[in-house]
Amino acid sequence: MNVYAKIIVDVPSGGTDHPFDYHLPDALAQTASIGMRALVPFGQRKLTGFIVDIVSETNLEKVKSVAELLDITPVLNEELLALGAWMSKETICFQITAFQAMIPAAMRAKAVKKIAVVESERSDLPMNIQAFFGQAGERSWADVPGDARLLRDIRSAVEQRQITERYELKDRAKHRTAKAVTVPSDVEEKPATKKQHETFALISDHYGKTEVAIQTLIHQLSLSRAVINTLVKNGFLQEKEIVIDRNPYTSAEGDGSEEKATLTVGQSRVLAQLEETIDQPQGSTMLLHGVTGSGKTEIYLQAIDRVLKQGKEAIVLVPEISLTPQMVERFKRRFGANVAVLHSALSVGERFDEWKKIQEQRVQVAVGARSAVFAPFTNLGLVVIDEEHESTYKQEEHPRYHAREIAIWRSERHCCPVLLGSATPSMESYARAAKGVYHLLSLPDRINQQPLPAIETVDMRAEMREGNRSVFSTTLLDKLRDRTEKGEQAVLFLNRRGFSTFVMCRNCGYVGMCPHCEISLTFHRRDSQLKCHYCGHEERVYERCPSCESTHIRFFGTGTQRVEEELQQLLPEARIIRMDNDTTKRKGAHERLLKQFGNGDAEILLGTQMIAKGLDFPNITLAGVLAADTLLHLPDFRAQERTFQLLTQVSGRAGRAEKAGEVIIQSYTPEHYAIQHAQTHDYLSFFKKELGQRKQAGYPPYYFLTLITFAHATYATAMKAGTHAAKLLRARLGDDAVILGPTPSPIARIKDRYRCQCMIKYRDEPEITDVLHELFSYYQKELQQDQRFITIDRDPNMFM
């Protein structure tokens, strides 16, 4: 009988976005499964593809054969395949792009797949597998001959964990090995001394014939290194090197022994509602609106505990920058080794190790950034999204998915709840909760009735009139001095975007611009270069103005570095830690700086967005925002919302323990409602006011938005496509839909390509997904070789 695989091939283009039929040779047919990757001939090349179906017939007369299977067990289960298809449809991307986004990067990188014998199982392996390995402990997957029986046996050995898979990458240095021991299978006599005998008995009782790291024995069983060495010398134990999971969060230890906290009345009430939902076999979404420091995390932990007791699994999403060891520790202390951590700061090999723990069901909890929403659990009981308002939950490249939407899709499939948590929910989520689409839960008070910090705004215009040209108001400086003297701590927030530095000629107004992109160049003090943030273009700093040749060239804006210098001059005795992209570039630097601050090595933590969230340090009694306006006036309809969120989050860092907190917000427009409502901790009033604005201007949550951008080397071609698209959309969509544009994009040129955009605003357009797909594939065909010609972004976060 013939067997065919339907395969989505890795060619992201319109003409190939459907399954192709391939013949499965006998040798492969027996092990091939839906959800595995295969290597297939395609044109003159061999490409990777995902098997989406296996059938016994094909309509084609001539089919090519699958060359190789790339996986031993499926990498995508049926749920994830279905999710990929849905994502492709909803976010307007190719299926292959959706599938690739769901698997660990190691599988996409140029990595060598290895399979290794689990030594304690070696003698139980079928003879053919033993013969293949010979004396070796590990061999390349590519060396396995195409023998049906062998392939099938290897697959079942992998499923029974007699064989493990791993990816060997170029970053070999990062592979951590450790000395381990096993009990050999041929031990007959007993060790000579009582001490040795006891040690030997303990090891074989606890670990049987499985290998165990010597460090683990020393720490967990309190054994002595000397006795282990003697046992090795006398042949009672065998010593070897093993590769251990290379997780940098190993410093984030926790053995799962921490007791639950006794909940406050408010927390108990919320947890009870949550548990009721968890116990119901039904998809649902809940929004937990809890002020900063109200103990949301403890609720997540206890809800997860409930889920685990039911034998189910949980995913916790946190924004990447809050995913610190401090955060991970909270989970490990409660759930110990039952937690996998997925974070983009891990090396690809490390991420694969963590992913594998989930896939092999060795853990029940996954904590991670955005893409952890694809964790291949099969019995999900809860998905938590912390800081749900964060814009990083939306991926800004294909596939342009929002983790919240993916979580909701999965919750329906698994009949379990999604819990969104935030002190400042997004307008969209709160509006849905207000309408009853989501279930609203709230925690209006801080733990132990701690008051929220008092917030004072300082009008920087007045400061200016009084002759203060510094970026620090007198009030803020006084308070900083006071904290430094008292040995208390302060965080100072500076918006990265508003403060990027550019060069300007004070004589003629010339501003250094990138010759390829329509944006100003940023000044980098360290190497005296001007750099473009979009394309990487670099120039040496000018000494004379390129336009008028005057020497009055000045650097404008204020980088964190300059603020640090100024502050150090004003407060020479203060110890300052600066956290921005520059100081946190190196791996582990972010954690190290936070740790130093936590240890009290500095009084002032000065930083960008990365300090605004999640910090829970008891000694912080002051939070300062240097210029609240820099975010407020960005050309983005969410600017007010983002400002309110940010001010609230920054304020939330102060006064979380016994000592009361204080906040200073410096602004040139302190009368703005986003600043006013943040000052009074009044989320609801902000929400209502902002909702009115959105309604009037026709923005979410009243209208849906879709942004279509065209980019081309000539302006006319980009505009022509935009005009055509707008015409097509006007013809196909209903009268309610508003189509704006085409207009040049706010950044009109990137990497020498002109950009223009059309914006669609709509409320109810059942046809729109189909129309967008039509447009997408039309322009794909037009410009096959240039994929970036058209980008379609549904519910966009960025409008540049």
Ligand X SMILES: Nc1ncnc2c1ncn2[C@@H]1O[C@H](COP(=O)(O)OP(=O)(O)OP(=O)(O)O)[C@@H](O)[C@H]1O
Q: Which residues are annotated as a binding site for Zn(2+)?
A: 505, 508, 514, 517, 532, 535, 545, 548
Residues paired with residue 417 on neighbouring β-strands, in sequence order: 284
Q: Does 514 bind Zn ion (CB under 5 A)?
A: yes
Q: How far is the CB of 387 from ligand X (least distance, A)?
A: 7
CA neighbor of 183 nearest in space, from 244, 126, 234, 125? 234
Q: Does 516 bind Zn ion (CB under 5 A)?
A: yes
Among 508, 570, 660, 684, contact with Zn ion (rule: CB under 5 A): 508
| Cβ-based nearer residue to Zn ion, 534 or 778 | 534
Omega of the bond prior to 618 within 30 degrees of 0, cis? no
Q: Which stretch binds Zn ion (CB under 5 A): 97-105, 265-273, 513-521, 737-745?
A: 513-521
In the stretch 48-87, what mask flags binding to Zn ion with x, by CB under 5 A? ----------------------------------------
- Name every residue whose Cβ is closer than 8 Å to that of residue 604 and which is 6 or more positions away in sequence: 480, 483, 484, 489, 490, 491, 492, 567, 571, 574, 575, 576, 577
Among 341, 517, 631, 721, contact with Zn ion (rule: CB under 5 A): 517
Q: How far is the CB of 293 from ligand X (least distance, A)?
A: 5
19's tokens: 């399954």
Q: Which does 616 bind (CB under 5 to 8 A by kind): ligand X, Zn ion, none?
A: ligand X
Q: How far is the CB of 544 from Zn ion (least distance, A)?
A: 8
Q: Measured in whole angstroms, how far is the alpha carbon of residue 666 from the centre of its chain?
A: 31
| Cβ-based nearer residue to ligand X, 298 or 390 | 298
Q: Which does 607 bind (CB under 5 to 8 A by kind): Zn ion, ligand X, none?
A: none
Find out whether 100 and 49 touch, Cβ atoms under 8 Å: no
CA neighbor of 403 nearest in space, from 417, 386, 415? 386
Q: Which does 296 bind (CB under 5 to 8 A by kind): Zn ion, ligand X, none?
A: ligand X
Pairing outcome for strands 68-69 and 37-42? antiparallel
Find out whether 536 and 518 touch, Cβ atoms under 8 Å: no
| Cβ-based nearer residue to ligand X, 247 or 651 | 651
Q: How far is the CB of 291 from ligand X (least distance, A)?
A: 7
The Cα–Cα gap between 38 and 469 comes to 65
CA neighbor of 775 nearest in space, from 742, 736, 726, 735? 726
Q: Which does 574 bind (CB under 5 to 8 A by kind): Zn ion, ligand X, none?
A: none
Which residues in this chain contact ligand X in the complex, by CB under 6 A? 261-264, 267, 290, 292-298, 423, 447, 614, 616, 652
Q: Which does 277 bind (CB under 5 to 8 A by kind): ligand X, Zn ion, none?
A: none
Q: Measured in whole angstroms, how far is the alpha carbon of residue 446 from the centre of its chain?
A: 28
Query: Which residues ranging from 529 to 548 are in contact with Zn ion (CB under 5 A)?
Result: 532, 534-535, 537, 545, 547-548
Q: Which residues belong to the annotated binding site?
A: 505, 508, 514, 517, 532, 535, 545, 548
| Cβ-based nearer residue to ligand X, 61 or 658 | 658
Q: Which does 37 bind (CB under 5 to 8 A by kind): Zn ion, ligand X, none?
A: none
Q: Which stretch binds Zn ion (CB under 5 A): 511-519, 522-530, 712-720, 790-798?
A: 511-519
- Name every residue whose Cβ is closer than 8 Å to that of residue 549 and which is 6 or more positions away in sequence: none
| Cβ-based nearer residue to ligand X, 290 or 512 | 290
| Cβ-based nearer residue to ligand X, 245 or 320 | 320
- Count Cβ atoms below 10 Å from residue 448 Cβ, excluding itself: 10
Q: Would you state the torsion angle of the CA atoms of residues 352, 356, 359, 360, taken in this order, to the nearest 10 degrees?
A: 170
| Cβ-based nearer residue to Zn ion, 133 or 502 | 502
Q: Measured in whole angstroms, how far is the alpha carbon of residue 743 from the centre of its chain?
A: 32
Strands, sheet with 37-42, edge to edge from the N-terminal-most edge strand: 20-23, 4-9, 45-55, 37-42, 68-69
| Cβ-based nearer residue to Zn ion, 237 or 532 | 532
The Cα–Cα gap between 373 and 394 comes to 12
- List contacts with Zn ion (CB under 5 A): 505, 507-508, 510, 514, 516-517, 532, 534-535, 537, 545, 547-548, 550
